[in-house]
Every structure is written in structure tokens, then in C-alpha cells.
Amino acid sequence: MPSVICTAKASYKKQLGSLELTEAHLQWTQDGKKAPSVRVPHQDAASLFCSKEGAAQVRLKLGLINDDAGHNFTFTSTPQGVAYSERETFKMELTNIISRNRSSGLLAVAPTTTTATTIAPTVATPTLKGPVTTVSSHAPTPLPASRASTSRAASVASDGRVAILSEQDAAKDFRLRKKVLLASPELLALHKELVMGGQITEAEFWEGREHLLLAQAATENQKRGRSGQLVDPRPQTVEGGEVKIVITPQLVHDIFEEFPVVAKAYNDNVPNKLTEAEFWKRYFQSKLFNAHRASIRSSATQHVVKEDPIFDMYLERDDDELEPRRPREEVSDLFINLGATLEDHGETGNEKDVTMQAGRQRGALPLIRKFNEHSERLLNSALGQGPPSKRRRTDSADKQNLLSQIEYDDLQDHESSPGVLLEMQGRQRYFEGQFGNMGEQREAVDVRDALVGLRNGLDGWEGRFSQLRVEKKSSDAALLSMTQNVASRLDIKTKKSDFPPDLFRQLMTCQTAANEFLRQFWISIYPPPSDFPTPSSLSSTATQRSAKAAKMAGYLGKTHEKVDALVRGAGVEGVEGGRVVVAMKPILDAVDHALAFYRARNVGGGKAVGVKLV
């Protein structure tokens, strides 16, 4: 039992109980029960939220990596002061844990999605780089390793550390594999059956599946861009007509980036003229802030806005003229230069009607400009500055680009592949035969003869037609066969899932396992052209491969036994054994084929024999 760091009385989902923080988990146990009903490993903790000081209930919310909803605990110790101090203890510990989680790079999410410690209106201290004070025993060993011990793969854990991807370190590689397995239940089941069952090694299992790991690694390495949302702190009204705005370090950072003028004001005034808190307080009440808000409904907030000698200095007039306040370089690319069209000929005609005059809603213009600028800023933050707009299209790369914009790709003949020739015995004869027939037919048709023949054939048709009798028996038979056909189809449809679920699962397992063996077998026989990096230890030599093939062949050989066992099992379950045989026939055929091939190969003298597919 790991040692408990701190504990407190807390309710969870309106049930009373106690909350404990141990070295590895945060757990909550309902009163009167022994086992904890909530158990969160440290690595899963992603974010922390607390209720405000002085709120009716002392709450703490823990967000998880895969689950933003997280868990909500209410500290129930009385008086509230005690509960509060208990919460603080938990908060401190958890904050450290979370920050360690983040710094260990486990989270793909950039830290911008923030721990929003909500203490208004002071600025929260940055919690992200707090020192690791507790849980020192766990120090910097990669977290997945510690998790491995808890997983059921205990027996193969050491084996599992072998790196599959050469350039990854073992721990990371293991984590990747785990993620891939968790993401796909079928693969997990197969892994459980084969690798943990000790039938094939971990490395063998992943051979041929490297792409899954690479894909996973690529996804994780993808850097997530900044969130697109506008920086628009919306004030919350609390009782007493006060307006509160929650400030987080992230928000401060965003504001500075979005509105450089605020950063300038901050540099000019803090801490000489204003304290930090005062600065923000006044900013949010100033006209400047109002001008920065992304809304045209500014009249509603008008009464809160005060004259402010400091901030009003930084105020710029609204950017609501038809032309932007800040002149920009002209776009040089003529393909998207709208101004060129405007200047292409003198203005003619009557003015546009009211609805088609751009910029008549002056209030909306600053907003629209803000959108464009914000989007541009986001783009620049990800891609660097835009293309140098001064430049003329001269270099060859640009010419290429120009062409690519006007070219029709699908009209180009990209050296279409000649296709695979159909290998067929006696091809010549086949085609000749066809032609021959056709030729004969052609010659045979002589219109006049045919017409004469037709006419002769038509002689006396009336009499013959009246004698026409449709025989009853044959038509009945036809109908009957059709009915039977329909009935049998219906039969099949209604009796769809007639294997008992248990047996069905067994069948499935047997099938997938056999498939896996087959895959391994054929891989060892025909190694795939490897275009992705495989570690040198695994790029198996011919001898290794033949050994593996032999092993797999051995496994495959047992498939028949397994199926027989299933057939017997089916008998017990009350299912006709024959149906199981039918169901497993394809896989057995495949296995037989593989085995036959293997035997033939061995008899033929191993590697030297040319391989021929039937």
C-alpha cells in the first residue's frame, strides 16, 4: 500500500466519503466501503479547478487527460475554514503533479489550454513550472514504465521494452504500442491471445505493423496550433452589480499579443505608476478595452466606461473608414489582385444601390477588420510572416506556381501504367475461337435468304398459334422452384445469428489467431519491401526468417486440432458441428495451402526453389 500524502473528508456525486492522495493515485472512498470507487493515476491528471474563496461550497475539480469533465469533489469538513485549508493542501499537491505531467511532455496539448485558477481579480501565479516537491521517489523515470507494472502484461513487460522503431527510445516506443493497442480492441484481443499467451514474441507481433506505430508517433508529434478563438474576455456579473473578469497568465499573454498597445501601456506604467492589479482593473474599465472588444453592441456597456487619463492616451480612433487606417502593401499576385480590376478602367455607371455599398454598417467594419487581422496573426504565428508582398513574380518557382494554377491536371497523360497482362493458357486459341465464330456468323447472314427463311417459317402461323398449349406441369415446376428459392433465402435471413455468442467468440478468436499466424508465415516467406525504418535487430536474416516460418508452420499445423475442438464444443452447445466446419472452411483452406506450400518448399530444397503462385 503506497503511503498517503494527504487526506480529507469530501463528497463525490452527493455521496459522503473521504479523499486520499497517495503516491500514485488520487482516490475517493465512499463512507462504509473499503475499496475506493474513484481512482485516478497521477499521470491522468490534466487540469485543476477550484471554487472561489468565500463560495458556499468548497469544491475542487480535477480534469483528466482524456476526459475534460473529470471529477468533482466537495470538501465537507466543518467548519468551512478547515475544508478550505484541506483543499489548499490538495490543490498544492495536485498542481505539482499536473505541472510535472505537462513538463514530461506527455500532453500533446500545448499548455495554453491552461489551469484556470480562478482568483479574481488578481493575477494567478504561473503554475506550470512549479518545482516537484512531493513524490520524489518517482522522479524522472518515464511514466509509462511505472504504468507497465500495473498492466496485465507483467510477464512480458521486460520483453516489451524492446524498441520496435529504431529511433525511438524503448519507453516511448512502449507507450506508442500501448496507445495503438488501446485504440483498437481487436488488435488488443489478438495481442492478449498471442503475445501474452507466449505464442509469438512482441517483436514478431509488431513486425509488419510498424506503420501503425509510426502513424501514432506522427499524430503525437504534430504540434497543435493556437486556438482560433478571439481574445475577448467576457465579464461575468456577480451580485451587487460588480463585474468580474477572470485573468489568467494565458489571458494576459493573449491580450498582449493581440493588442500590442496594451503591452506597451503595461511596460510604460507597471509597476511605476500602477500596480499590476490596478493596471488590469483600470484597463477593463477603460475605453481602450471597450474598443478592443469584439462586439458592436458597445452601447450597452457605455455606462461602465470611465474616462481614464492613462489609457485614453493609447486610444486610437475607430478603424471604420472605407479604407483601412493602416495602409498595406499591394498584393503583387495579379491572380488575386482585386484592386487592379477596380483601376482597370475609369468608373462608369450609376452608383450601387444602398444594399450593395460596402461599409455602410460602419459599426461592423472594425469587427470585420479585427477578424481578418486576427486570422492573419494566427497564420503568421504558425507559418512565419506572409510572403514578401513587394516581390514580383520572377523566379522560376513562382512561374511553376503560376502554371499550376491554370493547368488541368487530369487532362495530362501521366504515363498511365500498362496494367497487368492476363496470363492465360491458350490465349491465342481463345481469341481465335471467338473471332472464328463471329466470322462464320457474318458470312452466314444473307438478308434475302434469311427473309425467305423467315417467311417460310411464318407460313400458317395462325393455325399453329391456336394450337399452342402451355404445359401445366413444367410451369408448376418452375413456380415451385422459385418459391423454394425464396423460402430458403428467407430462411437464411431469419436464422442469422444462430451461433451461441460464446461459441461465436471462440470461432472469431480462432480465426483471427490463425490469420495472424498466416500473416507472420507469409511475411517470413516473402518479406515486404520495407520502405519504413526497421531496427537492424529486426531486419531479419534469411536464417531467422526460415526459423520463424518453421515456427509458424508449427502453429498453423495445430489449427486443425483447434477447429476440431471447436466442432466438439459446438456439439455440447447444441449446434450442428457441420456448420462450424463450413464456417471455418476458408481459413482451413488457407492454412492447408500455406502448409502445403511450406512442405513443397522444404522438399524442394529450401530457398533455391523459384516461387510460383497458383
Partner 1 sequence: MKFYIDNLPIVFPYDRIYPEQYAYMCDLKRTLDATGHCVLEMPSGTGKTVSLLSLIVSYQQASIWLSFYPTKRKLIYCSRTVPEIEKALAELKRLVKYRVSTAETPEQREKEEHFMGLGLTSRKNLCIHPEVSKEKKGKVVDARCRDLTSSAACDKGRADPGSVELCDWHENLNKYEPGNLLPPGIWTLADILQHGQDNGTCPYFTVRRMMPFVDVIIYSFHYLLDPKVAEQVSKELSKDAIVVFDEAHNIDNVCIESLSIDLTRPMLDSAARSVTKLGDKIEEIKKTDAAKLQDEYAKLVEGLQESTTDNSAEDPFMTNPGESNLNVIMLPDDLLNEAIPGNIRKAEHFVAFLKRFVEYLKTRMRVLHVVAETPLSFLQHLKDITYIERRPLRFCAERLQSMIRTLELNRLDEHSALQKVASFATLVATYEKGFLLILEPFETDNATVPNPVFHFTCLDPSLAIKPVFEHFSSVVITSGTISPLDMYPKMLQFTPVVQETYPMTLARNAFLPLVITRGSDQVAISSRFEVRNDPAVVRNFGSILVEYSKIVPDGIVAFFPSYLYMESIVAAWNDMGILNEVWKNKLIFVETPDANETSIALENYRRACDNGRGAVLLSVARGKVSEGIDFDHNYGRAVIMFGVPYQYTESRILKARLEYLRDAYRIRESEFLGFDAMRNAAQCVGRVLRGKTDWGLMVFADKRFARADKRAKLPRWINQYITEVASNLSTDMAVTLSKLFMRTISQNPNENQTGVSLWTLEDVEKAQVKQKEQALLHEQEQRDMDDMEEDEYGDGGIGDEMLGILDI
**Residues 199 to 218 in contact with partner 1, rule: CB under 8 A:** none
List of long-range contacts for 595-600, beta carbons under 8 Å, 24+ apart: 595/553, 595/556, 595/557, 597/525, 598/521, 598/549, 598/553
Segment contacting partner 1 (CB under 8 A): 59-67, 220-228, 264-272, 420-428?
Answer: 220-228
Q: How far is the CB of 253 from partner 1 (least distance, A)?
A: 18
Q: What is the largest CA-CA distance in the chain?
A: 122
Size of residue set near partner 1 by CB under 8 A: 76
Q: How far is the CB of 455 from partner 1 (least distance, A)?
A: 6
Contact between 259 and 366 (Cβ < 8 Å): no
Nearer to partner 1, 303 or 455 (CB): 455
> Quick one: CA dihedral 352, 355, 356, 362, positive or negative?
positive
- How, if at all, do strands 236-237 and 58-64 pair? unpaired
Strand partners, 59: 74
Strand partners, 29: 18
**Whole-angstrom distance, CA of residue 202 vs CA of residue 190:** 12
Segment contacting partner 1 (CB under 8 A): 148-156, 389-397, 498-506, 541-549?
Answer: 389-397
Distances (CA, A) of 427 to 61, 270, 432, 433, 434: 75, 90, 8, 10, 11
What number of other Cβ atoms are within 10 A of residue 163's Cβ? 19
- How, if at all, do strands 25-30 and 15-22 pair? antiparallel
Q: How far is the CB of 102 from partner 1 (least distance, A)?
A: 22
Question: Is the backbone of residue 212 left (phi > 0), alpha (psi -120 to 50) or beta?
Answer: alpha
Nearer to partner 1, 31 or 316 (CB): 316
What number of other Cβ atoms are within 10 A of residue 346's Cβ? 5
Q: How far is the CB of 386 from partner 1 (least distance, A)?
A: 7
Residue of 151, 227, 484, 539 that binds partner 1 (CB under 8 A): 227
Nearer to partner 1, 322 or 490 (CB): 322
Contact between 544 and 175 (Cβ < 8 Å): no
Question: Is the backbone of residue 503 left (phi > 0), alpha (psi -120 to 50) or beta?
Answer: alpha
- Residues 6 or more apart from 592 whose CB is under 8 A from it? none
> What does residue 46 show for φ and ψ, rounded to 5 degrees?
-120, -35
Write out the binding residues for partner 1, residues 271-310 only, by CB under 8 A. Answer: 294-297
Write out the binding residues for partner 1, residues 18-47 only, by CB under 8 A. Answer: none
Residues in the chain: 614
Residue of 230, 270, 575, 595 that binds partner 1 (CB under 8 A): 230
Nearer to partner 1, 34 or 414 (CB): 414
Nearer to partner 1, 308 or 398 (CB): 398
Please report whether residue 436 would count as binding partner 1 according to CB under 8 A: no
Nearer to partner 1, 24 or 368 (CB): 368
Q: How far is the CB of 113 from partner 1 (least distance, A)?
A: 12
Nearer to partner 1, 303 or 326 (CB): 326
**Residue keyed to cell 503516491:** 23
Contact between 54 and 118 (Cβ < 8 Å): no
3-state secondary structure at position 38? strand
Nearer to partner 1, 335 or 532 (CB): 335
Write out the binding residues for partner 1, residues 323-382 only, by CB under 8 A. Answer: 323-324, 328, 330-331, 333-346, 348-351, 353-361, 363-365, 367-369, 371-372, 375-376, 378-379, 382
Q: How far is the CB of 559 from partner 1 (least distance, A)?
A: 34
Q: How far is the CB of 8 from partner 1 (least distance, A)?
A: 37
Nearer to partner 1, 448 or 495 (CB): 448
Nearer to partner 1, 230 or 583 (CB): 230
**Whole-angstrom distance, CA of residue 362 vs CA of residue 317:** 13
Q: How far is the CB of 417 from partner 1 (least distance, A)?
A: 11
Q: How far is the CB of 607 from partner 1 (least distance, A)?
A: 37
**Whole-angstrom distance, CA of residue 386 vs CA of residue 365:** 23
- How, if at all, do strands 15-22 and 4-12 pair? antiparallel
Write out the binding residues for partner 1, residues 438-477 only, by CB under 8 A. Answer: 447, 451, 455
Write out the binding residues for partner 1, residues 393-432 only, by CB under 8 A. Answer: 393-394, 402-403, 405-413
Segment contacting partner 1 (CB under 8 A): 53-61, 387-395, 425-433, 591-599?
Answer: 387-395
Nearer to partner 1, 410 or 440 (CB): 410
Residue 548 parent element (H or E): helix 542-557
**Whole-angstrom distance, CA of residue 536 vs CA of residue 516:** 23
Q: How far is the CB of 213 from partner 1 (least distance, A)?
A: 23
Q: How far is the CB of 136 from partner 1 (least distance, A)?
A: 40
Write out the binding residues for partner 1, residues 154-183 only, by CB under 8 A. Answer: none
Q: How far is the CB of 32 from partner 1 (least distance, A)?
A: 44
Q: How far is the CB of 245 from partner 1 (least distance, A)?
A: 17
Question: Is the backbone of residue 441 left (phi > 0), alpha (psi -120 to 50) or beta?
Answer: alpha
User: Going residue by residue from 489 to 518, which x/- string records binding to partner 1, judged by CB under 8 A?
Assistant: ------------------------------
Nearer to partner 1, 345 or 442 (CB): 345
